[in-house]
Amino acid sequence: MKNLKQRLKHGETLHGCWLNLGSPLTAEIVGLSGFDWVLIDLEHGAGTEKDVLAQLQALEHTSTSALVRVESSESQRIHRVLDMGAEGIMCPKINNPDEARKVISGLHYPPHGNRGVAKMVRASQFGVNFDAYYQAAPDTILGIVQIETAEALNHLDEIAAIDGVDVLFIGPADLTMELGVFGQFDHPMFREAVQNIVQAAQKAGKATGILFFNPTDYKRYHADGIRFLACGADATFVADGARAIAGRLKAFRDEGSQG
C-alpha cells in the first residue's frame, strides 16, 4: 500500500488520471510519469475485470497508487478487484446514504463491513501477509463515491458523514446532464453544486475530487477546495499525441508541396 488514504487525511493535494484502455502497457507508462494515483475504469473503459490484474501488476513497481472504478455497488464487484490488490474503489452514481453505506460495507471485512474473506489472493500476497493486510485495511483502502445526480445533491451532508467515505468525487459530465446544463461547467447551477459538495466534504473532514481534461481548469478547482484532482486519461494522452504528430507531419508535407 502507498498510503494514499493517509496522504489525503494529512491534507495533501493529489493528482491522478483515468486508465480506460485496459492496457497494462499504458498503465505502466502512466504509472511511471509522476501521478500520485490512477483509476482503472471498469464503468466506461475498454477493459474488463480480467484486464485489471495485469494493470495492477504493471503499476506495482511504480510510485503511483492504483484505484478501480467498479460498474456498480454490488459487493462481488468490489470484493474481486480488492482481492486483486486495488488500493481503493470508486463507485458511480451514488444517490443517497443507503447506497453509499452499501459501497463502504463492500470495502471492509467484518465487523466493519461484509467483504468476503479469502486468504489466497494477491492483495495479501497469497496468504503470506493476510493478518497484516486485514489489520491495515480500514486505514489504507480508499472509499470514493461519485456525486453526479440531482438526488445526491439533496443528501450531501449525510453521505459525507459516513465513516469510510473518504472522497466525494464530482462527475462533471453526468452532473451537468442531470442539471440540464450538459457540458456547461461555468454555469451557475453547476458552480453552486461544486461549492455545496466541497462544503459538505470539508464539514465532515473528507476530500473532494473531480475529473477534467483541460489542465487550465486546475487552478479554478483547486481554489474551490478540491484536493483530489484528475486530469485526462491514457486514451486521451495517446489520441492527443498521435494527432499532434500527424498534424505536424501534414504541415511539413504541405510546406514541401508549396515549395
- Distance between CA atoms of 34 and 11, rounded to whole angstroms? 19
pLDDT of residue 208: 98
Query: Per the omega criterion (within 30 degrees of 0), is the bond before 24 cis?
Result: no
- The predicted-structure confidence for 6-45, as pLDDT tens digits, reads as follows 999 999 999 999 999 999 999 999 999 999 999 999 999 9
SS3 of residue 129 by DSSP? coil
Instruction: Decide if 86 contacts 66 (C-beta within 8 A).
Output: yes
Instruction: Indicate which residue of 10, 15, 44, 108 is catalytic.
Output: 44
Instruction: Decide if 145 contacts 167 (C-beta within 8 A).
Output: yes
Active site annotation includes 44: yes
Specify the long-range contacts of residues 47-51, CB closer than 8 Å, at least 24 apart: 47/20, 47/21, 47/22, 47/23, 48/22, 49/77, 49/80, 49/81, 51/22, 51/23, 51/24
User: 4-258 has which CATH code?
Assistant: 3.20.20.60
pLDDT at 1 over 70: no
- In the chain, what are the domain boundaries? 4-258
SS3 of residue 121 by DSSP? coil
- The predicted-structure confidence for 76-128, as pLDDT tens digits, reads as follows 899 999 999 999 999 999 999 999 999 999 999 999 999 999 999 999 999 99
- Distance between CA atoms of 56 and 63, rounded to whole angstroms? 12
DSSP symbols for 36-51: SEEEEESSSSS--HHH
Q: Average model confidence (pLDDT) for the chain?
A: 96
Q: What are phi and psi of 22, to 5 degrees?
A: 70, 20
pLDDT at 259 over 70: no
The pLDDT-based confidence of 192 (bands split at 50, 70, 90) is very high
- The predicted-structure confidence for 207-233, as pLDDT tens digits, reads as follows 999 999 999 999 999 999 999 999 999
pLDDT of residue 2: 78
Instruction: Decide if 168 contacts 156 (C-beta within 8 A).
Output: yes
The pLDDT-based confidence of 3 (bands split at 50, 70, 90) is confident
pLDDT of residue 256: 83
Instruction: Decide if 73 contacts 91 (C-beta within 8 A).
Output: yes
